[in-house]
Structures are given as C-alpha cells and as structure tokens.
Homo-oligomer: A and B are copies of this chain.
Amino acid sequence: MFKVKVLVKRRPSILDPQGMAVEKGAKHLGFNNIKDTRIGKYVEFTVDAGEKKSAEKEVKEYCDKLLINPNLEDYEFTLEEIA
C-alpha cells in the first residue's frame, strides 16, 4: 500500500484567473508585497499495490484520466510505502 501526494499546477504560460482574483483581494487588504499568486491542486490518496512500479503506473493513469487537465496543467507526485 502506498500513500500518494500529487501537486497539480497550471503551466506557467497559462493564465490563472483564480490566483489573480485572490491577489486582487490581497491588494485591497493591503498586502502589497505579494505577487504571482498561482493556485493549483493538492491531491492525496492511497493505492493498494504490492510493487512501487505498478503503483506508479496506476497513479499516472489516475492523474491522466481523471485528476489533471492535460491541456492546462502539469503534475508531479511522490509515493511513500505505508503499512
């Protein structure tokens, strides 16, 4: 069994309207030193697989088919074996 943590980011070339909106709010509240806010996703789950290789394969498929928009986003993940 593996614990998986995935970071999903918009590609640098893709605008991030949510980040821009939050940052606009920040300016109104007086946060003038904060810039380049980009908001992505952080996904955690477990995979019940015996070997790391087969777990990685399943994680990639899960990301590609469900978690990620491949047109806009990149991702990276870590696997950690748990009891």
Residues of B within 8 A of A39 (CB): 41-43
Q: How many copies does the complex hold?
A: 2
Contact of A40 among B9, B41, B62 (CB under 8 A): B41
Query: How close is A67's CB to chain B, nearest CB, in angstroms?
Result: 7
A72 contacts B by Cβ under 8 Å: no
Residues of B within 8 A of A45 (CB): 19, 23, 34-38
Is the Cβ of B61 less than 8 Å from the Cβ of A31?
yes
Contact of A38 among B43, B49, B66 (CB under 8 A): B43
CA–CA, A25 and B23, complex, Å: 33
Residues of B within 8 A of A23 (CB): 45
A15 contacts B by Cβ under 8 Å: no
